[in-house]
Amino acid sequence: MMGKYILAIDQGTTGSRAFVFDNRGRVVSKSYQEFRQYYPKPGWVEHDAEEIWESCLKVVSSAIRLAKINSQDIRAIGITNQRETTVVWDRKTSRPMHRAIVWQCRRTSEMCRLPKFQKARSVIQKKTGLLLDPYFSGTKMRWFLEHVPGLKAKANASQAAFGTIDSWLIWKLTGGQSHVTDMTNASRTMLFNIHTKEWDTELLQLFGVPPSALAKVLNSGSVFGLTAKTAGLSSRIPIHGVRGDQQAALYGQGCFDPGSIKNTYGTGCFMVLNTGHKSVLSKNGLLTTLACDVNGQPVYALEGAVFIAGAAMQWLRDELGCLKTSSDSERMIRGLKNTNGVYFVPAFTGLGAPYWDDQARGIICGLTRGANVRHIIRAALESIAYQTKDVFEIMIKECGLKIKAISVDGGACQNDFLMQFQSDVLGVKIHRPQNVDSTVLGAAYLAGVSAQLYEPRKLSQFLKKDAVFSPKMPVSEVSSKYEGWRQAVNRARFK
């Protein structure tokens, strides 16, 4: 008898989660564990790939135990992951050869400014839909090749493997039998041609990455391998669907049609617009990416990537001690009418869309004797909404659509103040679902559809709204506040 449950793994920037879903798309159990962040130098961010793997093992075991099922009851596994974070490991030992370089890391900023890469900017964008930036995996792979002793020889001899986090997890889950990735993750490497849907020879030569070190690219709904006993699962379960986190969230929000749009409020903030089978090349700092590729049918999207959103609240919690938990922020600012002129630009790792300024740094400005910690907390929350507006203004201009509502997800969208302020500054309705874990929903739904547990036409029935926020703030007040934000951003850019 085939299993009636889906196991979904959501490997994020600050923690790993596992969910068990039943055959009606309902959450049966879930488990979460944070892992350590490493900051070896200013602007550098690393993860220990083994710690990520151990965290995934623990949450998977916990979720299965809490669901009161065993691995034979699981029909398929879905995976979604932080996308551009890059791992390199030895194929023989399956051990990482260096800590993973996280998508937020800016160590390759100088590399991106080298003349050979600057000359290739337009070629990179036309082929990959991406902008030349340290954010993406290609420069991280080159850094590994230049700085890890013996790696270049091993990579050329097919003894070392590069991969984004999905590839690393699949390798470990299958006991080293599958070195694969899906098209949504491949499309974030700056090495993958989103039109031919292949690793691009010219770009591989540009970055000096040997093709033998790269994963095989499969459609998002493929079978990526079968789990091995080393994964702690007693039966061989197919890994039946893989998507990068933001593409998974688009699917999990039910944004199946061209023109549908979602915004995820996680460590960063990611607005994604479904453009259907048409790839739209941005002229103003947005990214063109593959949203999905199932059965050879590519769906493209426009994306605006904000590097620091919920991470600003974590910084206030962990580094300044202003909050006991990130969720305390709404309670802390209750009753405040404004920020008392304070603006917080959280450019800890530079600025993403639409600025793409890797030299920008975080600032808190507008401080007076009357400003206090509550004003700074509110300014941090408002910064999330302002950065989203920066992206939204360009997105509606480039897509030529009149957008009346945005679907939201991610931990920070549970903050009612933030969602109301976001609706106010954008001038559109905000739709929040009952289950804000849209990334893991997308992974589960894709795996369930691919494994024929769920019917595609019934997925929309799984989605329920929790709240709708409508604009209330006068347009003149929005304009004044946003102008203050733009001035603060200019100060953060040091130009």
pLDDT in tens, 406-450: 999 888 888 999 999 999 999 999 999 888 888 899 999 999 988
pLDDT digits (tens, 9 = 90+) for 364-414: 999 999 999 999 999 999 999 999 999 999 988 888 778 888 999 888 888
Q: What is the rounded average pLDDT of the residues 17-32?
A: 93
Query: Is the preceding peptide bond at 96 cis, omega within 30 degrees of 0?
Result: no
Q: What is the rounded average pLDDT of the residues 305-331?
A: 88
Tokens of 219: 């459609």
Tokens of 464: 């329920």
User: Residue 38: pLDDT above 60?
Assistant: yes
Average pLDDT, the chain: 91
User: Residue 89: pLDDT above 60?
Assistant: yes
Could you give the angle at the alpha carbon of 331 between the alpha carbons of 327 and 334, nearest 5°? Answer: 140
Q: What pLDDT was estimated at residue 346?
A: 95
pLDDT digits (tens, 9 = 90+) for 306-316: 989 988 998 99
Binning pLDDT at 50, 70 and 90, where does residue 295 land? low
Q: What is the rounded average pLDDT of the residues 32-45?
A: 93
Q: What pLDDT was estimated at residue 339?
A: 94
User: Residue 226: pLDDT above 90?
Assistant: yes
Binning pLDDT at 50, 70 and 90, where does residue 160 land? very high
CA atoms within 13 A on the CB side of 311: 19
User: Residue 218: pLDDT above 60?
Assistant: yes
Considering the four listed CATH numbers 3.30.360.10, 1.10.472.10, 3.30.420.40, 3.40.640.10, the one that applies to the domain covering 5-245 is: 3.30.420.40
User: Residue 457: pLDDT above 80?
Assistant: no
Tokens of 303: 């994306």
Q: What pLDDT was estimated at residue 495?
A: 60
Binning pLDDT at 50, 70 and 90, where does residue 463 land? confident
Q: What pLDDT was estimated at residue 325?
A: 83
- Whether 242 and 235 have beta carbons less than 8 Å apart is answered as no
Q: What is the rounded average pLDDT of the residues 144-167?
A: 95
- Least confident piece of the model among 165-169, 270-274, 424-428: 270-274
- Whether 353 and 285 have beta carbons less than 8 Å apart is answered as yes
Binning pLDDT at 50, 70 and 90, where does residue 493 land? very high
- Work out whether strand 261-265 and strand 405-409 pair parallel, antiparallel, or are unpaired: parallel
Binning pLDDT at 50, 70 and 90, where does residue 473 land? very high
Give residue 114's region: left, alpha or beta (phi > 0; psi -120 to 50).
beta
Tokens of 479: 């304009």
Rounded Cα distance between 255 and 415, Å, is 22
User: Residue 293: pLDDT above 90?
Assistant: no
User: Residue 297: pLDDT above 70?
Assistant: no
- Whether 83 and 103 have beta carbons less than 8 Å apart is answered as yes
Q: What is the rounded average pLDDT of the residues 171-186?
A: 95
Per the model's pLDDT, the better-predicted residue between 285 and 243 turns out to be 243
pLDDT digits (tens, 9 = 90+) for 228-248: 876 667 778 999 989 999 999
- Whether 296 and 196 have beta carbons less than 8 Å apart is answered as no
Q: What pLDDT was estimated at residue 296?
A: 57
Assessment of whether the complete model's pTM goes beyond 0.75: yes
Rounded Cα distance between 416 and 309, Å, is 15
| Domain locations in the chain as residue ranges | 5-245
Q: What pLDDT was estimated at residue 20?
A: 96
